[in-house]
Structure 1
Amino acid sequence: MSDTAKWYVVHTYSGYENKVATSIENAVENRKLHDLIQEVRVPTETVVEIKDDKKREVERKLFPSYVLVKMIMTDDSWYVVRNIRGVTGFVGPGSKPVPLTDEEVARLGVDTGKVEVNFAVGDSVSVVSGYLDGFIGTVEALDPEKNYVRVVVSMMGKDVPVELELGQVRALD
């Protein structure tokens, strides 16, 4: 078995994704398996719904009936996850769990990794990706834990605050 943590996909009953994720996290806490099971995610996206002429933001699951778990695959970790109520099994041929490849993890945007922050509030930064690529702005707020930065950019003569991921901006020299 590998001694490095990899992302695995766990299949659940429909609608049980959050319950399963919480149950796995509780089992990790109770059994002190932090070194084996490192992270549990239910990938979601925020979508704007218009219903009865009212806009509201709704969080939707990207992969209904699936939970992503970053873990070191051992008999113990497999047993803990497999026996959580609501789990039907791991994704893979037969009963053998197959980890996601690095390309799949990158494509899913699951494991963003740590981004080195070399700027602070008040610093000038350049947007290097996304729809504002090439814009220059000033950092207004910064939260490395949540991979978030708010930058004020000038658009058509007005200062507009924009929320971006840390990897989308670079400090100006």
Structure 2
Amino acid sequence: MSEAKWYVVHTYSGYENKVKANIDKTVENRQLEDQILEVRVPMEEVVELKNGVQKVSQRKLFPGYVMIHMIMNDDTWYVVRNTRGVTGFVGPGSKPVPLDETEMEHWGIGQTEVKCDYEIGDMITVLSGAWEGTAGVVNTINEQKQSLTINVELFGRETPVELNFSEIKKMD
């Protein structure tokens, strides 16, 4: 089996999150979790000033594009290419071209494996990102995606937040 690489898929503008959700659902339905490892819509944090109030929001880094960490074969190509909202893979003609390591590192997406020493119920603190300084209890762990979820109080209610292992630290 070949190694998984990151590919970029072009989508209709504004459909990035729908494409991600559709691919994730198809992967789950067809049990392709070992071939399509992760689907990302790269986001950046933006601070806007409206009426004298600072507002932090998320903005798509590449509108119209979705990044997919996958093993390229006929099945995975078919699943991604035939997802509603996908117009095609980025690459010459119909041949998808994977991103190389330096491109991935530039966007903060490394290929290095992070060993998980977290367990459900552990108290963690967030080191970076929108939730920096927030503490929470681990609810779920996804070692394949190298992420976990915690509940954060947002607008008076508990909201699950997914964080990468690299963004958090276990509290003593």
- TM-score normalised over the length of structure 2: 0.68
Which residue number in structure 1 is paired with residue 158 of structure 2? none
Q: Compare CA radii of gyration and give the structure with the larger one.
A: 1
| 1:30 and 2:49 correspond | no
Give the conservation status (yes or no) of the 8 Å contact 1:7–1:70.
Answer: yes
Cα pair distance change 1:117/1:141, threshold 3 Å: farther
In structure 2, distance between residues paired with 1:86 and 1:141: 36
Q: Secondary structure at the match of 1:14?
A: coil
Give the conservation status (yes or no) of the 8 Å contact 1:8–1:68.
Answer: yes
Which residue number in structure 2 is paired with residue 82 of structure 1? 81
- Unaligned regions of 5+ residues in structure 2, if any? 118-122, 124-134, 139-146, 149-163
Cα pair distance change 1:30/1:142, threshold 3 Å: closer
| 1:14 and 2:33 correspond | no
RMSD, aligned CA: 2.7
- Unaligned regions of 5+ residues in structure 1, if any? 122-139, 151-173
Per-residue CA deviation, residues 74-93 of structure 1 (Å, 9 max, x unaligned), is 01100000001100000000
Give the conservation status (yes or no) of the 8 Å contact 1:5–1:70.
Answer: yes
Give the conservation status (yes or no) of the 8 Å contact 1:142–1:148.
Answer: no
Q: Secondary structure at the match of 1:15?
A: coil
Per the TM alignment, residue 110 of structure 1 is displaced from its structure 2 partner at its CA by: 2.0
Q: % of aligned pairs identical? A: 55
- TM-score normalised over the length of structure 1: 0.67
In structure 2, distance between residues paired with 1:149 and 1:32: 29
